[in-house]
Amino acid sequence: MLTFIEMEFLKLKRSKIFLLSLLMAALPSVLMFIATFAFDETQSFDALFSTVNMYMSVLFAILLFSIVISYLFGREYNEHTLKTMLTIPISRGKFLVSKYVMFLIWIVILSVVTSISALAFGFLAGLSGFTLGLFINRFIELLFANLLLFLTFSPFVFISLFITNMVPAMVGGATLTLVNLLVSGQNWAPYVPWACPYLISSGEIADYGVSLMIPYGVILATFIVGIAISYIYFTKKDVPL
Amino acid sequence: MTEYIIETTGLSKKYSNNLVVNSIDMHVEKGKIYGLLGKNGAGKTTTMCMLLNLVYPSDGKILLFGKDPRNHSKEVYSNIGSIIEAPGFYENLTAYENLEVIAKLRGNYNPLNVKMVLEMVDLAHEKTKQFKDFSLGMKQRLGIAAAIMHNPELLILDEPINGLDPFGIKEIRDLLKKLSCEYGVTILISSHILSEIENIADVIGFMDEGVLIDEITRQELHERLNKYVEFEVSDIDLALELMNKTGFKENKDYCYKRSLGEYIEDLDSGENSEESTVGGTIHLLSNLDLRDKFNTLFVSSGIDVRKVNLCEENLEEFFTRIISND
């Protein structure tokens, strides 16, 4: 598994998509930095971290993660490397799990980039109220939300295997971003898998008056269904040349 | 007892109602080069993909190294090198990096080995060029490097010379022959380029419309190729008359072709056609040992015999013939 992950990083060498994903992860911080001056939006680090986390988990992450996951799986089809990998041989199950673990690592990297960029732009904007504890807490909050989001992305694995170019995943990501916006503040937000992670990590779930078991159950069910259909599809289907 | 590295029984693949591989019984002997020959769409690639577990068979059995690959997947496939259609590599990586990925995942990465194999396919000097900037020939050579890098006992190569120039083709052909002769590597190679298979294979399997029509050794092939004697004569009509008089039948014992150039010249000249003569070629298909008698007969009858050749049907003609017979 470690070698597989190491090789996944080597495959990203000179990859524009990796750089692009890092820039996208820093985008909420950039926008908030601009908003600080343009609209006098945020005055403290706490408000900055909080807003960046919300924008990231509710909006940007959905689209960004869908691009990342479709690239991770889709490139093996588009560059015709899947046949090379599977004849090494690597078992299809191991291949699927390893790719999904790589997706997890990528998400952790993006979370770090988001938090550090927020910190950097906060200092650039001259905000007040910075403490290390605050930074760590807000980072953990973002990381937790993104890890829960990671679990809800297993259906995207199936989409990436089924339609191997990035367009369907991006359309799906954009659609879910809109869904998240629509359900925001609605009673049924805790039942939408991609809206739950931020509600849980920020503690806003308490405002909805539902048991914590519900959003966790929704996330877990999405994860299991997504993984199961992806695994069945990938292991039963012939490899396209 | 013959040791087979690849043995299939009733191997079939069906897509919806389309049977693309139809109950193939293939036998590839250890240390031999087996050429799989067939037109585009004959089922060669699908057969190879089934052997490599990239495509699941609809029916039939596969034995690789005498073992069922479904139960000994790791053991069997780590001993196989392959190229299926266009080689697939990561476009943003160099040749070395691509081989490094494969070797590390295979668990036998050795930098010296990677460099050596790149030198072998003449890609060692391409240190910074990314795969996306490679020519078709370079991509193919990298595919061959990846296939042989781990010293496999079996190579499954689908159209490996596609895109190579004549020098590249010769290099790869020599390399494959060397691997087979000196290192005992068994090679299953497919191609629709008949001359290439004829040059390299010890055994040839003929495929058409998903069916393995025949499997024959090079020796058997030579014996089964039709032979004939070709006479190029100055007066085709007189020569044919003489052949008919000896009791030879057209299309059975001989066939002929008028020299078109001479025929047109003859028409243009406007001379009395009854007096003019047209040359042509006669193919003596049976009783080849009588060729000297016919030569004497033609010459004594005033016919100029310009050429007498003992010819052999080439692989292309043989392939066309057995497909038509089938």
For an interface test with A, which of B53, B105, B133 has the most A Cβ atoms less than 10 Å from its Cβ? B105
Residue at B84: amino acid letter: I
Does residue B322 surpass a pLDDT of 70?
Answer: yes
Option in A7, A15, A75 nearest B101 (CB) = A7
B146 touches chain A (CB under 8 A): yes
Cβ atoms of A230 and A157 closer than 8 Å: yes
Closest C-alpha to B84, from A234, A76, A87, A96 = A87
Q: Please tell me whether residues B85 and B106 are part of one structural domain.
A: yes
Q: How far apart are the first and last CA of chain A?
A: 25
Indicate if the alpha-carbon torsion angle B129, B132, B133, B134 is positive or negative: positive
B79 touches chain A (CB under 8 A): no
Does residue A42 surpass a pLDDT of 80?
Answer: no
Q: What percent of chain B has pLDDT over 70?
A: 95
Taking CA–CA distances from A2, the nearest residue in chain B reads B105
Does residue A97 surpass a pLDDT of 60?
Answer: yes
**B294, HSE (Cβ side, Cα atoms, 13 Å):** 32
Mean per-residue pLDDT, A120-140 = 92
Q: Please tell me whether residues B96 and B122 are part of one structural domain.
A: yes
Q: What is the pLDDT of residues B155-194, one digit of tens each?
A: 999 988 877 788 888 888 888 888 888 888 999 999 877 7
Q: Which residues of A touch B139 (CB under 8 A)?
A: none
CA distances from A204 to A139, A219, A229, B96 (A): 17, 16, 31, 51
Option in B52, B93, B105 nearest A90 (CB) = B105
Task: Specify the range with the lowest mean pLDDT, choosing from A49-63, A227-241, B266-280, B299-313.
Answer: B266-280
Q: Please tell me whether residues B239 and B128 are part of one structural domain.
A: no
Mean per-residue pLDDT, B114-118 = 92
Q: Please tell me whether residues B167 and B101 are part of one structural domain.
A: yes
Does residue A83 surpass a pLDDT of 70?
Answer: yes
**B322, HSE (Cβ side, Cα atoms, 13 Å):** 25
Q: What are phi and psi of B70, to 5 degrees?
A: -70, -30
**B210, HSE (Cβ side, Cα atoms, 13 Å):** 13
**Residue finishing a domain among B189, B224, B259:** B224
Residue at B313: amino acid letter: E
Q: Please tell me whether residues B70 and B115 are part of one structural domain.
A: yes
Structure tokens at B94: 């160099």
State the pLDDT at residue B262. 64
Domain span at residue B283 reads 227-325
How would you classify the pairing of strands B27-29 and B18-24? unpaired
d(C-alpha B199, C-alpha B218), whole Å? 10
Cβ atoms of B115 and A36 closer than 8 Å: no
Cβ atoms of A103 and A72 closer than 8 Å: yes
Residue A143 Cα to chain centre, angstroms: 10
- Shortest distance between the Cα of A89 and any Cα of chain B, in A, equals 6
Q: Interior CA angle at B47 toward B194 and A235, to 5°?
A: 150
In B78-90, which positions are buried (b, 16+ CB within 10 angstroms) versus exposed (e)? eebbbbbebbbbb
Q: What is the pLDDT of residues B183-221, one digit of tens each?
A: 889 999 998 777 788 888 899 998 988 999 989 888 888
CA distances from A59 to A64, A154, A197, A206, B124 (A): 9, 18, 12, 21, 47
Taking CA–CA distances from A81, the nearest residue in chain B reads B88
Does residue B250 surpass a pLDDT of 80?
Answer: yes
Does residue B270 surpass a pLDDT of 80?
Answer: no
Q: Please tell me whether residues B76 and B208 are part of one structural domain.
A: yes
Residue-averaged pLDDT of chain A: 91
Chain B stretch 34-73, residues whose beta carbon is closer than 8 A to a beta carbon of chain A: 45, 49, 52-56, 73
d(C-alpha A160, C-alpha B276), whole Å? 76
State the pLDDT at residue B44. 92
**Residue finishing a domain among B191, B224, B257:** B224
Cβ atoms of B94 and B126 closer than 8 Å: yes
Closest C-alpha to B210, from B32, B81, B18 = B18
Structure tokens at A186: 């609605």
Q: What is the pLDDT of residues A178-190, one digit of tens each?
A: 998 888 888 888 9
State the pLDDT at residue A19. 93
Does residue A66 surpass a pLDDT of 60?
Answer: yes
Does residue B240 surpass a pLDDT of 80?
Answer: yes
Q: Which residues of A touch B107 (CB under 8 A)?
A: 3
Q: How many domains would you assign to chain B?
A: 2
Chain A stretch 84-103, residues whose beta carbon is closer than 8 A to a beta carbon of chain B: 84-91
Option in B49, B85, B88 nearest A81 (CB) = B88
Q: Which residues of B touch A235 (CB under 8 A)?
A: none
Q: Please tell me whether residues B38 and B172 are part of one structural domain.
A: yes
Q: Which residues of A touch B77 (CB under 8 A)?
A: 87-89
Other C-beta atoms within 10 Å of A221: how many? 12
Cβ atoms of A53 and A142 closer than 8 Å: yes
Q: Which residues of B touch A84 (CB under 8 A)?
A: 87-89, 102, 146
Option in A4, A84, A89 nearest B88 (CB) = A84
Mean per-residue pLDDT, A85-91 = 90
B297 touches chain A (CB under 8 A): no
What secondary structure does DSSP assign to B264-319, as a single string?
HHHHHHT--TTT----EEEEE-S-GGGHHHHHHHHHHTT--EEEEEEEE--HHHHH
A82 touches chain B (CB under 8 A): yes
**Residue finishing a domain among B224, B253, B284:** B224
Closest C-alpha to B25, from B220, B213, B217, B224 = B213
Q: Please tell me whether residues B185 and B101 are part of one structural domain.
A: yes
Confidence of residue A224 (pLDDT cuts 50, 70, 90): very high
- Which residue has tokens 């299309």? B251
Cβ atoms of A125 and A37 closer than 8 Å: yes
Is the Cβ pair A89, B130 closer than 8 Å? no
Model ipTM value: 0.86
H or E element in which residue A10 lies: helix A2-11
Q: Please tell me whether residues B201 and B255 are part of one structural domain.
A: no
Q: Please tell me whether residues B158 and B295 are part of one structural domain.
A: no
- In chain A, the largest separation of any two C-alpha atoms, in whole Å, equals 58
Is the Cβ pair A88, B77 closer than 8 Å? yes
Cβ atoms of B36 and B201 closer than 8 Å: no
What secondary structure does DSSP assign to B91-146, as a single string?
TTSBHHHHHHHHHHHHT---HHHHHHHHHHTT-TT-SS-BGGG--HHHHHHHHHHH
Other C-beta atoms within 10 Å of A11: how many? 22
State the pLDDT at residue B169. 85
Is the Cβ pair A3, B89 closer than 8 Å? no
Other C-beta atoms within 10 Å of B169: how many? 20
Helix then strand then coil, % of chain B, to nearest 5: 40, 30, 35
State the pLDDT at residue A53. 93
Q: What is the pLDDT of residues B46-92, one digit of tens each?
A: 999 999 999 999 999 999 999 999 888 888 999 999 999 888 899 99
Cβ atoms of A14 and B92 closer than 8 Å: yes
Q: Please tell me whether residues B127 and B273 are part of one structural domain.
A: no
Confidence of residue A145 (pLDDT cuts 50, 70, 90): very high
Is the Cβ pair A86, B100 closer than 8 Å? no
Closest C-alpha to B197, from B34, B71, B82 = B34
Q: Please tell me whether residues B201 and B122 are part of one structural domain.
A: yes
Give helix then strand counts, H and E, for chain B: 12, 14
Structure tokens at A105: 């690592």
